Amino acid sequence: MDQAVLRVEDLSAGYGSRVILHDLNFSIRRGEVFVIMGVSGCGKSTLLRHLIGLQSPLAGRVLLQGEDFWARDPEARAALQRHFGVLYQSGALWSGMTLRENICLPLAAYHPYLSQAELIELAALKLALVGLAGCDELYPAELSGGMRKRAGLARALALDPEILFFDEPSAGLDPLNCQALDELILQLRDSLGASIVLVTHELPSIHAVADTCLFLDHQSRTQIALGPLAHLLDECPHPTVQRFLRRGVSPPKESSP
Ligand SMILES: Nc1ncnc2c1ncn2[C@@H]1O[C@H](COP(=O)(O)OP(=O)(O)O)[C@@H](O)[C@H]1O
Ligand SMILES: [Mg+2]
């Protein structure tokens, strides 16, 4: 059975006539953490925008559950996008609203038949899921950076997405909060069975959460490695990939006689 929730075929991504990435081919499976990595400026965010349907391919296709996303009409595309949850870098919360209101907003828009009490209960559930039980009435400004990320995540989870996208979620977080976010990512994968697409260059995160890794190369403007982390570490011959994954690790010292 084909377990791919999202598949990219011969994708070229870019802006106007400027090709940022070309000939991308990969599948994201149900319930896996798929990590996209590469140096700054190589096109990770650009690729993400193509995956969530904010930008149309210069060439090739993005298939969501087997359906060619851009071959559908705008209404069908919007319906497909409901399978996505996106955690934006800042958390993208409305500052003038409490966390409960922030989460109820998308819920009410898509589920107009829910009562106020049901909306409040669902918002509380989403907050509990990210470890913010009881924070319903707080405003974003009252939260720490790590809590704000979690609240953004609770909002991204509002519509029970099948695929969650994170673009460098650990930016601006201290190591402890980064680790907590990694644990939360694994918990969401395991409890919700969601697929998670994560853009990151944090080695501890990559080691902690990655099921499959995609490495984008700035120079050749395409993918140069795809597979489990162990495969990239042990079998990928590309020096760029090895340098990236082994940075900060000193080579083994020669033993003195
Ligand atoms: N809206 C845009 N219009 C034109 N070029 C862009 C736009 N956004 C990003 N770029 C260019 O695309 C390239 C890849 O950017 P980006 O996807 O943000 O890389 P990354 O996320 O890997 O750091 C960069 O050279 C950047 O300048
Ligand atoms: Mg980026």
Domains of the chain: which residue ranges? Answer: 94-160
For ligand 1, the distance from its centroid to the CA atom of residue 144, given in whole angstroms, is 29
Whose Cα sits closest to atom 26 in ligand 1? Answer: 41
The distance of Cα 244 from the centroid of its chain, to the nearest Å, equals 20
Beta partners for residue 122, in sequence order: none
pLDDT tens by residue, 116-159: 999 999 999 999 998 999 999 999 999 988 898 889 999 989 88
Which two three-digit tokens encode residue 240?
Answer: 């760029």
Q: What percent of the chain lies above the pLDDT cut of 70?
A: 95
Cα gap 42→79, rounded to integer Å: 30
Instruction: Give the residue from 235, 214, 225, 245 showing the smallest Cα distance to 37.
Output: 214
Q: Which two tokens stand for residue 88?
A: 């934006």
For residue 200, how far is its CA from the centre of ligand 2 (angstroms)? 9
Distance 41 CA to ligand 1 centre (A): 6
Which is the closest atom of ligand 1 to the Cα of 167?
Answer: 21
Residue that the structure tokens 């998308």 belong to:
106
- Cα(145) to centroid(ligand 2), Å: 19
- 37 C-alpha to ligand 2 centroid (Å): 10
Ligand 1 site residues, Cβ closer than 6 angstroms: 15, 20, 38, 40-46
For 236-247, the pLDDT digits (tens) are 999 999 999 998
* pLDDT per residue as tens digits for the range 7-39: 999 999 999 999 999 999 999 999 999 999 999
Nearest CA to ligand 1 atom 5: 15
C-alpha–C-alpha distance, residues 184 and 216, integer Å: 26
Ligand 1 pocket mutation pick from 45, 52, 200 by most atoms within 8 angstroms of CB: 45
pLDDT digits (tens, 9 = 90+) for 170-179: 888 888 888 9
Averaged pLDDT for residues 215-240: 96
